[in-house]
Amino acid sequence: MRLDIYRRAEDGGKFSYLAVPESRDIPEEATNTDWQVEAKAVEVGDEDDQIPDYDIERLNEQIAEKGYAMTALH
Protein backbone atom coordinates (compact mmCIF):
# COMPACT_ATOMS: atom_id res chain seq x y z
CA MET A 1 0.00 0.00 0.00
CA ARG A 2 1.08 3.58 -0.54
CA LEU A 3 0.73 6.15 2.20
CA ASP A 4 1.13 9.89 2.54
CA ILE A 5 2.87 10.80 5.79
CA TYR A 6 2.26 14.04 7.69
CA ARG A 7 3.94 15.36 10.83
CA ARG A 8 3.29 17.90 13.55
CA ALA A 9 5.55 19.28 16.24
CA GLU A 10 5.03 18.18 19.82
CA ASP A 11 6.61 19.38 23.06
CA GLY A 12 10.29 18.67 23.56
CA GLY A 13 11.21 18.87 19.88
CA LYS A 14 9.47 15.59 19.04
CA PHE A 15 7.04 14.90 16.21
CA SER A 16 3.82 12.95 15.82
CA TYR A 17 3.14 11.31 12.47
CA LEU A 18 -0.07 10.61 10.60
CA ALA A 19 -0.25 8.02 7.79
CA VAL A 20 -3.12 8.31 5.30
CA PRO A 21 -3.67 6.09 2.26
CA GLU A 22 -2.27 7.87 -0.80
CA SER A 23 -4.47 10.56 -2.37
CA ARG A 24 -6.96 10.61 0.51
CA ASP A 25 -7.50 13.81 2.44
CA ILE A 26 -6.56 14.07 6.09
CA PRO A 27 -9.66 12.91 8.00
CA GLU A 28 -11.86 15.67 9.39
CA GLU A 29 -11.10 14.87 13.05
CA ALA A 30 -7.40 15.43 12.37
CA THR A 31 -7.62 18.59 10.25
CA ASN A 32 -7.85 20.95 13.21
CA THR A 33 -4.12 20.59 13.88
CA ASP A 34 -1.10 21.82 11.97
CA TRP A 35 -0.04 18.76 9.96
CA GLN A 36 2.74 19.29 7.42
CA VAL A 37 3.65 16.94 4.58
CA GLU A 38 6.57 14.69 5.52
CA ALA A 39 6.53 12.23 2.60
CA LYS A 40 4.23 11.32 -0.28
CA ALA A 41 3.51 7.86 -1.74
CA VAL A 42 5.56 5.90 0.81
CA GLU A 43 5.45 2.24 -0.18
CA VAL A 44 4.60 -0.08 2.72
CA GLY A 45 4.00 -3.80 2.36
CA ASP A 46 0.36 -4.84 2.80
CA GLU A 47 1.44 -7.26 5.52
CA ASP A 48 3.55 -4.68 7.40
CA ASP A 49 1.88 -3.61 10.61
CA GLN A 50 4.26 -0.88 11.67
CA ILE A 51 6.37 1.92 10.25
CA PRO A 52 9.34 2.19 12.64
CA ASP A 53 10.73 5.38 11.04
CA TYR A 54 7.55 7.18 12.12
CA ASP A 55 6.82 5.23 15.34
CA ILE A 56 3.51 4.01 13.90
CA GLU A 57 2.29 0.69 15.27
CA ARG A 58 -0.85 -1.36 14.51
CA LEU A 59 -0.88 0.23 11.04
CA ASN A 60 -3.49 -2.02 9.42
CA GLU A 61 -5.75 -2.04 12.48
CA GLN A 62 -5.71 1.76 12.76
CA ILE A 63 -6.38 2.29 9.04
CA ALA A 64 -9.25 -0.22 9.09
CA GLU A 65 -10.74 1.42 12.18
CA LYS A 66 -10.19 5.13 11.48
CA GLY A 67 -8.99 5.45 7.89
CA TYR A 68 -5.56 6.64 9.06
CA ALA A 69 -2.81 5.65 11.50
CA MET A 70 -0.94 7.80 14.00
CA THR A 71 2.19 7.69 16.07
CA ALA A 72 1.52 6.15 19.47
CA LEU A 73 1.92 8.84 22.11
CA HIS A 74 3.76 7.43 25.12
Q: Please say if the pLDDT value at position 74 is more than 70.
A: no
10 versus 28: the higher-pLDDT residue is: 10
Q: Please say if the pLDDT value at position 61 is more than 90.
A: yes
Helix (H) or strand (E) holding 56: strand 56-57
Give the β-pairing of 69-70 and 50-51. unpaired
Give the β-pairing of 2-9 and 56-57. unpaired
pTM score, whole prediction: 0.86
Give the β-pairing of 56-57 and 69-70. unpaired
Domain housing 66: 2-70
pLDDT level of residue 72 (50, 70, 90 thresholds): confident
Query: What is the distance between the alpha carbons of residues 41 and 5, in angstroms, rounded to a whole number?
Result: 8
Number of domains in the chain: 1
- pLDDT value of position 35: 87
Listed in sequence order, the residues at least 6 apart from 36 whose beta carbon sits closer than 8 Å to its beta carbon are 6, 7, 8
